[in-house]
């Protein structure tokens, strides 16, 4: 097992939900992980082993996979692998801890899941009608 595999498995154990996107009918596939906190969500976008980024986005964002503003972000320099992005994401403080929820800043260009797709919003499920 590679370190990348181990970090992906650890993110899954922590509760990240994985979404797979196809940029166009020919690919490439994009893997995005999302972990929901009460006030924000942590997102990692993996296009390939050498192209990825992670960020913390407010829950009221119009599209968590194409944010306009973020609380935190790790945007990979060209020579750094996806392993570093996942390490950064898995070691940031929780949002309720000191330093965990920084001020909102504009998201850098390219902080998106690429391709033509519908926006993805996070909403709490309704408890109406549940027993």
Averaged pLDDT, groups of 10, the chain, 131 residues long:
94 92 72 93 88 91 89 79 93 95 91 65 51 48
Domain boundaries of the chain, sorted by first residue = 3-106
Query: How long is the chain?
Result: 131
Q: Is omega for the bond preceding 77 within 30 degrees of 0, making it cis?
A: no
Q: Is omega for the bond preceding 28 within 30 degrees of 0, making it cis?
A: yes
Confidence (pLDDT) at 110: 80
Give 122's DSSP letter: -
Question: Cβ distance 100 to 94 under 8 Å?
Answer: yes
Confidence (pLDDT) at 7: 96
pTM reported for the whole predicted model: 0.83
CB half-sphere exposure, 24, CA atoms < 13 A = 1
Question: Cβ distance 19 to 32 under 8 Å?
Answer: yes
Other CB atoms within a 10 A radius of the CB of residue 49 amount to: 11
Residues 6+ apart with CB under 8 A from 123: none
């Amino acid at each position: 097992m590679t370190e990348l595999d181990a970090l992906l498995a650890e993110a899954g154990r922590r509760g990240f939900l994985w979404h797979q996107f196809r940029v166009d009918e020919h690919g490439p596939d994009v893997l995005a992980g999302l972990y929901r906190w009460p006030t924000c969500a942590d997102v990692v976008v993996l296009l390939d082993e050498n192209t990825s980024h992670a960020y913390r986005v407010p829950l009221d964002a119009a599209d968590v996979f194409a944010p306009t503003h973020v609380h935190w972000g790790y945007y990979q320099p060209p020579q750094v692998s996806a392993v570093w992005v996942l390490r950064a994401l898995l070691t940031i403080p929780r949002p309720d801890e000191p330093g965990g929820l920084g001020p909102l800043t504009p998201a850098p260009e390219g902080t998106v899941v690429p391709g033509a797709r519908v926006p993805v919003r996070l909403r709490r499920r309704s408890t109406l009608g549940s027993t």
